[in-house]
Structure 1
Amino acid sequence: MGRNTRKRRMPLATKVTAGAAALALGGGGLVWANFYASAHEDGGHNRTKSRGAQVATINCPDVGQKLTKVPRKARRGVAKELALLDRQITDAYTRLAETRQAQAGDANYVDNAILGPLKSKRTATLDRIGININRAGGTAPRDLGRFARCQGVPVDQPGDGDGGGQNQGGGQDDGSGQDNGGGQDNGGQAQNGPVADDFINIEDVQPNSRNLPNGLAANGDGGSTGSFTTECGTNENALRNSDNVIVAPGVSNGAQHQHDYVGNQANTAFASDEDLANGETTCRNQGDRSTYFWPVLRIQDGTQDIDQGRPGGGQDGNVGKIVAPTAAELRFVGNRTSDVVAMPRALRIITGDAKAFTNGLNNANTAWSCTGFEDRQVTDKYPICPEGSSVVRTSAFQSCWDGQNIDSANHRTHVDFVEADGTCSNGFQAIPQLQVRLVYDNIPAPRIENGQVVNPFAVDSFPEQLHKPITDHNDFINFFDEDLMNQMVECINSGQDCQ
């Protein structure tokens, strides 16, 4: 996922800290991976300091966010190369997890056998990206090769002076004969999370202790105060795949994790805009053929789903039983200071960041909570809900549009969040803001026992992201027909609540 290059308003990074994360390392016992994802480092490539410590995961520059100017003719080819970079990281991470014994006997093993070959592969891929851009009449960034080098994020990651490097989760011997880091075999997910420190009892979260997702109350008391709700179901059709037609068009398994889809039913990596425009829809109003999709949640109770040995599932470190939301609320609201304009056909918007664990928090923009406690929101923890309360995921999308483009090279810079006063900057226009609220009353509350999590749930992710809750994200492609979009705009601007 790319990063918005303009200043982010009301950033969640100011409200979120990344603490310690327990990790079970095959062949190496239970160890602690302590990672601080800073939102203030250049390009999102977090500084790491290795002192010969065992490496927990791999951090590579997110090249996609660097590419803000790619000619349209080159974008599909560049997208395929970017997906290859992701696959290379996954393969390197898999090798990292499978060679713990060799690493223990050779302090240089990771650099020589994993990171070195990874750099060589990335260099060749980056060269092809530059060729694609230049052949299409663009100008590739100077020295793309500088993004080839990746770093190992070590266990007991040293901090940068601001507390991020403390082993906050513990990990000490608690007298039970186990490391209490929480990296036990959670239904087969022991290699890459989640772990006990990824969870928090929602009753321990202070009410109103952090901002809601960016612009969640976007329409306020003035401006365009109406709303439009579309009902598209909860993926009763079980339509899922590990493609991403926005970020990796033309690439099978480009996401390396499964998505739930509601609305448009023509979603694959190979779907054209015309395919989507003509696709069937689960939305009650057939004028809404938009695509709404998000990574699935899985319960890691030892059972497996049908993708156990398949790409996007077990082959990419995503294990456990997939659970669909029991309620999916899709609501569009207005702007606090002005009317909104219609969204263009095929507009693409991504909120949140699937790589936020290694990229940093700049684009993290989804929230976790529980029914009855939604004044308590967390982004870097999964909630443990009390009896009778259900898990809630909330996302609010960017609601300012550049007035010209339905997408951008990094999938970020054609849209933006509102400023602190609710206005759109840089000549952008206010558009209806999509707010997605997903409720799961089918997820048993995990338990923390002796510092370990029992029967956790987790969002699907890229393997090296360790299934952190901070990586949650949500995607949208607009295929409202023109008449229905105009009705939405009229409702919102006139202060009506429509559906």
Structure 2
Amino acid sequence: MGRNDRKRRTPLATKAVAASAALALGGGGLLWANFYASAHESNSSAQNQTKAAAAQVATISCPDVGQQLTNVPAKARNGVAVELANLDKQITEAYTRLASTRQAQTNDASFVQNAIVGPLKEKRAATIDRIRIDVQRVGGSVNAAALAQLAACTTQNVNNTTAGGQNNNGGQNNNGGQNNGNTATPSAGASASAPAGNGGQAANGPVAADFVDITKVAPNVLAKPRKSGQASTGTFTTRCGVNANKNHNTDNVIVAPGVTNGAHHLHDYVGNQKVNAFATNDSMLAAPSSCQNQSDLSSYYWPVVRIQDGTQEFDQNADGGGKEGNVGKILTPVQAQIKYVGSPASKVVAMPQFLRIITGDAKTTTNGLANANAHWSCTGFENKVQLTTQYPICPQGSNVVRTFAFQSCWDGVNADSANHRTHVAFADPASGVCGNGFKAIPQLTMRLVYKITPPTVQNGVVKNAFAVDGFPEQLHKPSTDHDDFISVTKNGLAAKIANCVNTGKQCQ
């Protein structure tokens, strides 16, 4: 499908073990990728050995069903999306119960399995079966036995929740990874351990091991691919602000259309100003935009960053906010640069109207780093160090930077796909070439800058911590950072962007 097959190398302790879930399919059925269960997930027998071990359970890890669904019939997609959102809600509720029953876990080594993980499996099994019914009702086919295998969840303890630990090529694997010529590795000092407890203002992260002094990290940014004679060298910058007007919600219309609080965390929105769970292509075309170029109605949205300083934000008691562990002062970026760039290997074609792209993975604690595309750095260090599995502690006078480079290869047909990944792909990291019939499109890049007082780590505890919003069971890991985009343009803007990039101009 045009995906980069270059595999990451990881320490043995953090390698994923593949459990095959390939299904024989009929027309319009479900096409399954391999399901990866994290090798560092603890098993129930180990958890139940002692009361002390039970008390150390940090989070719940469930198979990400949505990522396995790569070809759901169009007529079933809305129903399936609702059920996938139900699965997320069930995990959130189970994690909340896990976090609120620590004493019971200490007193009873079987409590987590009997009172939380077991009932969660039953709920998931019923929901997953409804997905099967939704697909089969419209003529699709699915291997019910393989689908049912995704119901069971496991737990992770406090010493194995760093989302797979280090990786050596910056999230470059299959559909994941940043391929903008700045592919980088996480910190060489990334730790696979964490102090007892989950840390953070809401007791679900981040922990001290999630931070690193960037001045102590060896340079890890790789060279850009060499440009060919057919390279598209122009750029197009769109100025859409930093969300100073605080346009927020906890929906995600791409992955959970029609579902309120489908993201379970808060997003900043710039560009299109009328995007929520119920937005449609037509409503986005009629909406105002925060972009200076009013022909750019695209939606650019990302999880907010918060300082965990005890601030009671407006969503302290709301779904997606404090009720789900997303707490502290919401930061507005001091700069948000949105730029489209070209391909080092070829000319590009215009993005199709309503193209949807998600880059990165909000569930790396569950899924591992295969699709991670988090890149954290500091001003003055961006060309030297990019971090995936740790947040940077920047030196005085330097600001925190989040960068994203979206997938730049398109299948030429689909504006979206069932798992929101297989219709786009990253180019080959060495050559910049799109594979298997995919076409190069202008690559969306984003750079968000935040003014943050540097955190400190004392006696294994981080003070003045900052963290990206996320699903509560993902423990606010840096690798869960992600970015979302819906291309909506008028007055021929998509073609103008492609032409600018192809002719080597610097446009805005």
TM-score norm. by structure 1 comes to 0.87
Q: Quick check: 1:9–1:418 contact (8 Å CA) kept in 2?
A: no
Q: Quick check: 1:37–1:357 contact (8 Å CA) kept in 2?
A: no
Per-residue CA deviation, residues 19-74 of structure 1 (Å, 9 max, x unaligned), is: xxxxxxxxxxxxxxxxx654564423213233123321111000001111111111
Counterpart secondary structure, 1:134 = helix
The residue number in structure 2 matching 1:25 is none
Q: Please say if 1:431 is aligned against 2:434.
A: no
Per-residue CA deviation, residues 113-163 of structure 1 (Å, 9 max, x unaligned), is: 11110000001000110111111221234321110000011344599x999
Q: Please say if 1:8 is aligned against 2:4.
A: yes
The residue number in structure 1 matching 2:402 is 393
Q: Quick check: 2:58–2:158 contact (8 Å CA) kept in 1?
A: yes
Cα RMSD (Å) of the superposition? 2.6
Q: Quick check: 1:352–1:472 contact (8 Å CA) kept in 2?
A: yes
Closer, same or farther in 2 for the Cα pair 1:388/1:46, shift >3 Å? same
Equivalent residue for 1:137, pick from 139, 155, 171 = 139
The residue number in structure 2 matching 1:89 is 91
The residue number in structure 2 matching 1:149 is 152
What is the alpha-carbon distance in structure 1 between the residues aligned to residue 295 and residue 282 of structure 2?
15
- Between Structure 1 and Structure 2, how many residues are aligned? 458
Further displaced range: 466-475 or 483-492: 483-492
The residue number in structure 2 matching 1:174 is none
Alignment of 1:445-464 (within 5 A): 445-464=454-473
The residue number in structure 1 matching 2:329 is 321
Gaps of 5+ in 2: 20-34, 48-52, 168-188
Q: Quick check: 1:156–1:167 contact (8 Å CA) kept in 2?
A: no
What is the alpha-carbon distance in structure 2 between the residues aligned to residue 333 and residue 389 of structure 1?
26
The residue number in structure 2 matching 1:73 is 75
- Please state how far the C-alpha of 1:203 moved relative to its aligned partner: 0.4
Equivalent residue for 1:236, pick from 226, 240, 244 = 244
- Please state how far the C-alpha of 1:104 moved relative to its aligned partner: 1.5
The residue number in structure 2 matching 1:44 is 36
- Please state how far the C-alpha of 1:324 moved relative to its aligned partner: 1.2
What is the alpha-carbon distance in structure 2 between the residues aligned to residue 334 and residue 10 of structure 1?
22
- Please state how far the C-alpha of 1:377 moved relative to its aligned partner: 0.7
Alignment of 1:188-203 (within 5 A): 188-189=201-202, 191-203=203-215
TM-score norm. by structure 2 comes to 0.85
Equivalent residue for 2:354, pick from 346, 363, 377 = 346
Per-residue CA deviation, residues 291-323 of structure 1 (Å, 9 max, x unaligned), is: 000000000011121000001101111000100
Equivalent residue for 2:260, pick from 252, 268, 273 = 252
- Please state how far the C-alpha of 1:221 moved relative to its aligned partner: 7.5
Q: Quick check: 2:354–2:487 contact (8 Å CA) kept in 1?
A: yes
**Counterpart AA for 2:148:** G
Alignment of 1:98-497 (within 5 A): 98-143=100-145, 144-157=147-160, 168=191, 186=200, 188-189=201-202, 191-207=203-219, 209-211=220-222, 223-374=231-382, 375-419=384-428, 420-441=430-451, 443-497=452-506
What is the alpha-carbon distance in structure 2 between the residues aligned to residue 158 and residue 309 of structure 1?
26
Closer, same or farther in 2 for the Cα pair 1:445/1:131, shift >3 Å? same
The residue number in structure 2 matching 1:26 is none
Closer, same or farther in 2 for the Cα pair 1:17/1:300, shift >3 Å? farther
What is the alpha-carbon distance in structure 2 between the residues aligned to residue 75 and residue 383 of structure 1?
39
What is the alpha-carbon distance in structure 1 between the residues aligned to residue 495 and residue 464 of structure 2?
46
Per-residue CA deviation, residues 439-491 of structure 1 (Å, 9 max, x unaligned), is: 012x1111111221011000001000000000000010001225111111111
- Please state how far the C-alpha of 1:105 moved relative to its aligned partner: 1.8
Per-residue CA deviation, residues 263-284 of structure 1 (Å, 9 max, x unaligned), is: 0001100011111111110000
Closer, same or farther in 2 for the Cα pair 1:74/1:162, shift >3 Å? closer
Counterpart secondary structure, 1:79 = helix
What is the alpha-carbon distance in structure 2 between the residues aligned to residue 17 and residue 385 of structure 1?
27
What is the alpha-carbon distance in structure 2 between the residues aligned to residue 40 and residue 277 of structure 1?
44
What is the alpha-carbon distance in structure 2 between the residues aligned to residue 378 and residue 17 of structure 1?
17
Counterpart secondary structure, 1:366 = coil
Closer, same or farther in 2 for the Cα pair 1:46/1:437, shift >3 Å? same
Closer, same or farther in 2 for the Cα pair 1:158/1:403, shift >3 Å? closer
Counterpart secondary structure, 1:45 = strand
What is the alpha-carbon distance in structure 1 between the residues aligned to residue 443 and residue 350 of structure 2?
11
Per-residue CA deviation, residues 217-243 of structure 1 (Å, 9 max, x unaligned), is: 797875111111100000011000000
**Counterpart AA for 2:155:** G
Q: Quick check: 1:183–1:452 contact (8 Å CA) kept in 2?
A: no
Gaps of 5+ in 1: 19-35, 172-179
Q: Quick check: 1:245–1:267 contact (8 Å CA) kept in 2?
A: yes
Counterpart secondary structure, 1:223 = coil
Counterpart secondary structure, 2:422 = coil
Closer, same or farther in 2 for the Cα pair 1:322/1:84, shift >3 Å? same
**Counterpart AA for 1:436:** M
The residue number in structure 2 matching 1:27 is none
**Counterpart AA for 1:200:** V
Q: Quick check: 1:37–1:358 contact (8 Å CA) kept in 2?
A: no
Further displaced range: 134-143 or 105-114: 134-143
Q: Quick check: 2:2–2:437 contact (8 Å CA) kept in 1?
A: no
Q: Quick check: 1:201–1:383 contact (8 Å CA) kept in 2?
A: yes
Closer, same or farther in 2 for the Cα pair 1:316/1:106, shift >3 Å? same
What is the alpha-carbon distance in structure 1 between the residues aligned to residue 477 and residue 213 of structure 2?
16
What is the alpha-carbon distance in structure 2 between the residues aligned to residue 406 and residue 293 of structure 1?
18
Q: Quick check: 1:461–1:471 contact (8 Å CA) kept in 2?
A: yes
